[in-house]
Amino acid sequence: MASTATDGQLADWRMRALKLEEEVKSVIVGQDAAIRLINIAIFARGHVMLEGGVGVGKTTLLQSVARGIGGAYERIEGTVDLMPNDLVYHTFLGPEGRPQIDEGPLLRAGENLSVFFFNEINRARPQVHALMLRVMAERHLHAFKREYRLPHMIVFADRNQVEKNETFEIPAAARDRFMMEIPIHVPEDKTLRKSLVFDTRFQHAEQLARRVESGLLPFNMLNDFSDVVQNHVQSSPALEDYVIDLWDATQKPQDFGITLEGVDMQRLIQAGASPRGMGMLLKAARVHAWLMERDYLYPEDIHAVFHEVIAHRLVFNSMYESRRTVLARELTAKILQTVAVPA
């Protein structure tokens, strides 16, 4: 009986998840893969970093997703003079001319906060990163002599890769807190590109996001349902061995015969994927399996999220750090090509 109820619950939520995807796809064109990955992150309860150029639609995408999830949505812009307390409170003169203190964007909505969007996070100082790291990991904050709980919050951050002036590289520990780093590219399809330029509905991002049906997902039930998915989707010993091999390959790719052109493989990796990273990989993969209507993990579920979950966690030798984006993509692709399912 319980199983039937769970099956019904799984099917019902899957329908909602796919509906959210369809809604967002209807306003954000050419980003189907990114939308699927964001959907996976929502149900795996993981924070997401979006990576891409300027004006490719990252903010609109996140606004659309936030509207679909429901709950409160807050955002802050990363700037070089942004301080941690700017997230927690702000001061102003009240109507009576007396200074007043109000809750900042992180605390304003309280437990109803479902999406916190940190725009251009790499422009903020490391102190801000430190605060965000703590909130992302613990989902609560002590302020105004009391505990603020943020149990439903997911952080979406974006990182402008083009400009490097007055930016602070996000340290490896901070990157590791994000479940995924999703690249957002301009679509290559010519029809879609024409549509983005000539279709006037894409000129008003705010209006575009409002077309998404709001509250498709009951945001305050996502944590509980995520646990259901994680407990429901099983993995076989063969798949577990396969995942361990993949993990080993992120740490010592040379042992698997993996080579990259112009790279000394012995010196490339300083640290491979962390246990937390591998745990997040499996969480995301289980959600993918659930979306694909499966009760068991298949390698393709791992593959579907491998690059986005693992690439940003790899710590390269400093001599290769400047080529991180390209090398990380090549390395994860080579790992998937090389490591076979053990039998």
Partner 1 sequence: MKKATILFCICLLSATAANAAEATLVALENPRVSTGIAIGDVLERKLVIEAKSPYELPASALPLKGERVDGIEVMDVSLQSEKAGDGHRYQVKLSYQVFAASDKPRVMRLPAATLNLAGGNTPVEVSIPAWHFWYSPLVAGNIHTARSNAQPQRKPALLDTGMEPLGLTLAVLLLGLGGLVYINADRRWLPWMGGSFAQAYRKLRRLPPQAGSNAQALGYLHQAFNRVYGRALFRRQLGEFLAQHPQYQSLAGEIDGFFQRSEALLFAHGNADSAALIKDLQQLCRRLRDCERKIA
* Residue-level length of the chain: 343
Secondary structure of residue 61 in the 3-state scheme? helix
Specify whether the backbone of 76 is left (phi greater than 0), alpha (psi in -120 to 50) or beta.
beta
Residue 309 makes CB contacts below 8 A (sequence gap 6+) with 179, 180, 277, 280, 281, 284
Report the chain's C-alpha Rg in angstroms. 21
Place of tokens 């575009």: 208
How far, in Å, CA of 314 to CA of 200, rounded? Answer: 41
> Is position 14 an interface residue for partner 1 (rule: CB under 8 A)?
no
DSSP string, 66-126: HHHH-SEEEEEE--TT--HHHHHEEEEE-TTS-EEEEE-TTTTTGGGEEEEEEETGGGS-H
Choices 59-67, 161-169, 200-208, 288-296 (CB under 8 A): range interacting with partner 1 = 288-296
How far, in Å, CA of 24 to CA of 77, rounded? Answer: 23
We find the least distance from the C-beta atom of residue 335 to partner 1, in angstroms, to be 10
How far, in Å, CA of 332 to CA of 328, rounded? Answer: 6
> Is position 102 an interface residue for partner 1 (rule: CB under 8 A)?
no
Shorter beta-carbon distance to partner 1: residue 18 or 341: 341
Shorter beta-carbon distance to partner 1: residue 128 or 243: 243
Shorter beta-carbon distance to partner 1: residue 40 or 157: 40
> Is position 199 an interface residue for partner 1 (rule: CB under 8 A)?
no
- Number of residues forming the site for partner 1 (CB under 8 A): 21
First to last CA, the chain: 36
> Is position 24 an interface residue for partner 1 (rule: CB under 8 A)?
no
Residue 1 makes CB contacts below 8 A (sequence gap 6+) with none
Residue 340 makes CB contacts below 8 A (sequence gap 6+) with none
Shorter beta-carbon distance to partner 1: residue 141 or 304: 304
We find the least distance from the C-beta atom of residue 227 to partner 1, in angstroms, to be 22
Shorter beta-carbon distance to partner 1: residue 6 or 338: 338
Q: Which of 14, 210, 294, 323 binds partner 1 (CB under 8 A)?
A: 294
Q: Which of 138, 221, 227, 296 binds partner 1 (CB under 8 A)?
A: 296
Q: Which of 295, 317, 319, 321 binds partner 1 (CB under 8 A)?
A: 295
**Per-residue x/- track, 301-340, partner 1 (CB under 8 A):** --x--------------------------------xxxxx
Shorter beta-carbon distance to partner 1: residue 118 or 242: 242
Q: Tell me how many degrees the CA angle 124-41-322 measures, rounded to the nearest 5.
A: 45
Number of H helices, E strands in the chain: 15, 11
Place of tokens 């796919």: 18
Shorter beta-carbon distance to partner 1: residue 121 or 309: 309
Secondary structure of residue 249 in the 3-state scheme? helix
Shorter beta-carbon distance to partner 1: residue 193 or 303: 303
> Is position 140 an interface residue for partner 1 (rule: CB under 8 A)?
no
Shorter beta-carbon distance to partner 1: residue 144 or 296: 296
> Is position 80 an interface residue for partner 1 (rule: CB under 8 A)?
no
Residues 171-190 that bind partner 1 (CB under 8 A): none
Which sign does the torsion angle of CA 200, 202, 204, 207 carry?
positive
> Is position 300 an interface residue for partner 1 (rule: CB under 8 A)?
yes
In sequence order, the β-bridge partners of residue 118 are: 76, 157
Residues 232-251 that bind partner 1 (CB under 8 A): 234-236, 238-239
> Is position 229 an interface residue for partner 1 (rule: CB under 8 A)?
no
We find the least distance from the C-beta atom of residue 333 to partner 1, in angstroms, to be 10
> Is position 298 an interface residue for partner 1 (rule: CB under 8 A)?
yes
Binding site for partner 1 (CB under 8 A): 234-236, 238-239, 294-300, 303, 336-343
